Structure 1
Amino acid sequence: MLYQRDNGWKALNPEQKENITVFCEGYKQYLDAGKTERKCVTEAIRLAEARGFISADSKTTLVPGDRVWFNNREKNVVLAVIGQQDIAKGANFVVSHIDSPRLDIKQQPLYEDTELALMKTHYYGGIKKYQWASRPLALHGLVVLKNGQKVDITIGEQDSDPVFTIPDLLPHLDHKVQRDRKASEVLKGEEMHILVGSEPTTINDETIKDRVKYNILQKLNEAYGIVEEDFISAELQLVPAGKARDVGIDRSLVGAYGHDDRICAYTSLKAILDIDHTPQTTAICFLVDKEETGSTGSTGLQSRYLEYFMDELITKIRHQDYSARVLRQCLWNSRALSSDVNAGINPLFKSVHDEQNASKLGYGLVLTKYTGSRGKSMTNDADAEYIAQLRQLFDSAGIKWQVGMLGKVDEGGGGTVAKFLAHYGIRTIDAGPALLSMHSPLEVASKFDIYETYRAYQAFYG
């Protein structure tokens, strides 16, 4: 008989549906609070400390049951619950990324044209650029002044805030300039400039040439104490303005920016926070950065930070009985879920999927044996023995799960952090919910799948 699963909503009673609703309200609040990787880290630590986790730096010794966190440069956070088993026998990792596609402000962004002030951007991650025009955008980020002072900026999320937008070309005039462009060039990268103002300064000084730009700089200085040169040491990001919302008359879906991959970040975070006993195996929730641009940099998973914090954990657990060999043993004996999303079947574009091997919304957690593209290039490709263990685990816990792959064989594809975990010998598979409209300003997920992903991570930690 062909492997198949049922829609997960069918067998739920009213109490179970209410549990899902309550859980997803917490998730929507997390999305609204964490629209950048830095804010995700801040919110994760806040939630962790409320549940008894403390900074690992404050501990010289770790014993079973201890609950600690690590913070790497405000862009990675690690939560660990120390287990009873010798750490050399491995740990259970759930690894998610907290960066999402967005627009970054360039280092010298501000200019004036036709008496309008604009800022230049550079897109981050894989986006359809045209989806970002003519929509309200919010500015989030950090400016570090020359003296080292940090200035946090958030504009566009409150109802009273102004927003920003990329002005698109009206259909009456786009025939020669834009209409015949390929979809990837309907809006080009160097055309993605945001409007930031139109009012000229009232200062009567003939040496001021760009009077609207000057007025914007005045207002930024008054509000935040920054000058134009400070953009050089800034991390400012544009994201869709507004809150996560329920989608559909039955409210069974959540529409939001950043499901990929904060849907896995929140469920893995909540699962480790809700551990109410000392697990047999040490449980680790690792929220990482830079996945959308290749996991490079000191906060991406290709850095050595995993080795760094595991070295710290093992040293504090074993003290004198520690060596580099123990670290290698621990990692080689560990198991991981690369908790990332999959592409659910889009009913408007079914042709890109092999329906027999594609995931669907409402069918629970998706196990993705391999990612990559065309010939499984750059994939982890989980081994059969490990998949069998997870099948047994999830079935015994009554968790709804399915299998999926990222489109037809020659259609495209993509990658996750799984291959970087596997580099250490950690047995790894991709495991997360299915999405519609992935990498768009409004991605869509099933509430049932969100909750079932949380339950799956709970079982895995346990």
Structure 2
Amino acid sequence: MLKFLVRTTAFTALSVALASSATLPLAAQETPLNPDGKVASKSVWLTLTPQQKSDVFAFAEPYKDYLRHAKSAGLSTAEFLSLAKAAGFTEFTSPSQIKPGAKLIFDNRDRAVVFAVIGSDSVETGTRIVATHQDSPHLNLKSRPVVGAPGSVALLKTTLYGGIKKYQWSNLPLALVGRIDTTDGRHLQVNIGFAPGDPVFVIADAAPHSDSLLRTRTYTTVLAGEEMNPVAGSIPSEKNSVADQVMAALRAKFNIKDEDLVAAELELVPATQPADVGIDNGLTGSWGQDDKALSYAASRSIFDLKGTPKKTAMVYVTNFEEVGSINNTGANSQFLDTVFTELMDAQKKGASALDVRHALRNAAVLSADCNDGVNPLFPGNSEASNAAIVGYGVTIKRYGAGFDPNAEFTARIIALLDKNNITWQTQTPRVEVGGGGTIGGFLSARNMEVLDVGIPLLSMHATYEMSSKVDHWSIYKFFGAFYGME
């Protein structure tokens, strides 16, 4: 019998009680119950043995180390490639490598990657795939990024990447990361703002002494897009402006021409580092956990996979999800099709396009992406009976409107979770209030069976997001069990 789990917590009830009932929608005041009238579930923390609790905290430490380095999609890929090779994975170079038990890397331009452990069954009979994305909201530099500004400073001109609340990025130390590829063929890594002694970049806010002209701006327009420009320098010379001096410093530091910046991929990200949140150390705080959290959990789960699975196990880490999964490293590219073709052609010489389509049709996919959790300050933003709660385990996301998988596939996943004693919950946003999207649609368009799953975050898409260590550990365990699903 399938268990229909509805979640609530003591802190949700407390938040609702503290809030004014006159200002909260009725949905926020509901107390979800099971048919027997009892509260449906409890925190995963309360189900752990002492050893499991120790495992949860141990799992969080290398994750934080990954977050310290994975400040862009390219840097994230580099971290994963290093971890994969340490776990015995090798770059795919020849069809002869594709044999049961082989651990292979399919690298797509160092910005997206597939890790595969070849199973004993043919790829055509089915695969088990966890698909994630490793890009996170940030600011990109424009092609001509340095401009002078009033107040005798130079600014960096930026464009927005992903859904952000712009006001959160002011008065915050920002670091500059990415790459510059020069016209003379050099590849330069840029990382300014994280090393001791590095300068940082800051978007200046208006002082309360002189901001009366700005006070009519609303919540989402405190800063306009063209105002998201951090200070890059402030010292002129007798002959040159501050902007000229900043450009001269960039030329000297990287030995580049102005035109090289046109080809650069440079991002501004918070110059903060991950840390535990709360006196009990139960949460991980960091920028970029959507969706680096699940990219790490998925990658770790396949790196830790023992033996030869029956079905080929794969992790697909993509790029550009926050802007629509576009470009040749996003989930809407042909890269995954190419990987399937390589696998099929090695196992079935002269495999046809129809053979590849059969392999895609038989694939089972978890589209793993973070979701927002019930906010302790704003519980009314969620619909209580279908809201995901931090610390309550894996989220099965049900969006409706054609985004959900077939019922039989969802039932298989629920049975797998229950069989492995992995706590799970559901999330459906409040109607006409919330929403979201994942890469799942691009995979189901290939006739794959796809279910959206995740873990809840607090302050999702903010400059500092919070995740529960027990949720992260739970979904890691879930991915490991999924690879063995019949």
TM-score range relative to shorter protein: over 0.9
In the alignment, what sits opposite 1:307?
337
- 1:209-220 to 2 correspondences below 5 Å: 210=241, 212-220=242-250
Aligned AA for 1:315? D
TM-score, normalised to structure 1's length? 0.94
TM-superposed CA distance for 1:319, in Å, is 2.6
- Counterpart in 2 of 1:108? 144
SS in 1 for 2:96: coil
1:188 equivalenced with 2:229 (yes/no): no
Instruction: Work out the CA distance in 1 between the residues paired with 2:257 and 2:277.
Output: 42
- 8 Å CA contact 2:122–2:347 kept in 1: the answer is no
What is the Cα deviation at residue 61 of structure 1?
4.0
Is 1:7 aligned to residue 43 of structure 2?
yes
Aligned counterpart for 2:419 among listed residues 396, 399, 402: 396
Partner in structure 2 of residue 149 of structure 1? 186
2:76 paired with 1:53? no
Give me the TM-score of the superposition, normalised by structure 2.
0.90
**Which residue in 2 is equivalent to 1:350?**
379
Q: Secondary structure at the match of 2:46?
A: coil
Deviations 1:141-192 (A, max 9, x none): 111111121111100011211111100111121111x211121110000001
Match of 2:5 in 1: none
In structure 2, how many angstroms separate the alpha carbons of the residues matched to 1:277 and 1:432? 26
Contact 2:166 2:225 in 1 (8 A): yes
Which of these residues, 300, 315, 318, is aligned with residue 288 of structure 1?
318
Larger mean Cα displacement after TM superposition, 384-393 or 111-120? 111-120
- What letter corresponds to residue 387 of structure 1 in structure 2? T
Give the Cα separation in 1 of the matches to 2:476 and 2:434. Answer: 29
- Between the two proteins, the alignment pairs up a number of residues equal to 447
Fraction of identical pairs, as percent? 38
Trace 1:35-434 onto structure 2 (pairs within 5 A).
35-113=71-149, 114-176=151-213, 178-201=214-237, 205=239, 208=240, 210=241, 212-320=242-350, 322-370=351-399, 376=401, 379-405=402-428, 407-434=429-456
Kept after mapping to 1: 8 A contact 2:95/2:342: no
**Distance in structure 2 (CA, Å) of the matches to 1:219 and 1:15:** 53
Alpha-carbon contact 1:380-1:422 (below 8 Å) kept: no
Distance, in Å, in 2 between the alignment partners of 1:11 and 1:369 is 25
Residue identity opposite 2:406 in structure 1: D
Distance in 2 of aligned mates of 1:359 and 1:390 = 18
3-state DSSP of counterpart to 2:189:
strand
State how far apart, in whole Å, the 2-side matches of 1:99 and 1:216 are.
28
- Secondary structure of the structure 2 residue equivalent to 1:78: strand
User: What CA distance in whole angstroms lies between the structure 2 residues aligned with 1:312 and 1:236?
Assistant: 33
Deviations 1:219-261 (A, max 9, x none): 2222211222221010000001121110000000011001100
Per-residue deviation, residues 245-301 of structure 1 (Å, max 9, x unmatched): 100000000110011001110000000001111001000100001110011111111
Give, in whole Å, the separation in 1 of the partners of 2:217 and 2:311: 55
Distance 1:313 1:171 in 2: 62
* 1:23 paired residue among 59, 67, 84: 59
The Cα of 1:316 is off from its aligned counterpart by 2.0
Paired AA for residue 399 in structure 1: I
Contact 1:5 1:402 in 2 (8 A): no
Mapped to 2, the partners of 1:420 and 1:180 lie a distance apart of 41
Q: CA deviation at 1:370?
A: 2.3
Consecutive unaligned residues of structure 1, counting only runs of 5 or more, are none
Deviation at 1:13, TM superposition (A): 2.6
What amino acid sits opposite 1:284 in the alignment? M
Tell whether the 8 Å contact from 1:271 to 1:458 is kept in structure 2 after alignment.
yes
Please give the secondary structure, in 1, of the residue aligned with 2:206.
Answer: coil
Helix, strand or coil for the counterpart of 1:35? coil
| Aligned residues of 1:217 and 1:227 also touching (Cα < 8 A) | no
| Structure 2: 5+ residue stretches without partners | 1-33
Distance 1:58-1:52 versus aligned 2 partners, 3 A rule: farther
Q: Report the alpha carbon displacement of residue 217 of structure 1 after superposing the two structures with TM.
A: 2.0
RMSD over equivalenced CA pairs, Å: 1.3
Secondary structure of residue in 2 paired with 1:413: coil
Contact 1:366 1:434 in 2 (8 A): yes
Query: Residues 68-112 of structure 1, C-alpha deviation per residue, up to 9 Å, x if partnerless?
Result: 001111110110000011211111110000010000001111011
Shift of 1:326: 1.1
CA contact (8 A) 2:95 2:343 kept: no
Superimposed CA distance per residue, residues 374-397 of structure 1 (whole angstroms, 9 cap, x where no aligned partner): xx3xx5212211111011111111
Question: How much has 1:58 moved relative to structure 2?
Answer: 4.6
SS of aligned partner of 1:307? helix
Instruction: Read off the aligned partner of 1:152 and give its amino acid letter.
Output: Q
* Contact residue 380 and residue 428 of structure 1 kept, 8 A: no
Moved more, 407-416 or 232-241: 407-416
Query: Take 2:41 and 2:309, find their aligned partners in 1: how far apart are those partners?
Result: 30
Counterpart-to-counterpart distance in 2, 1:459 and 1:445 = 22
Q: Distance in 2 between matches of 1:316 and 1:115?
A: 63
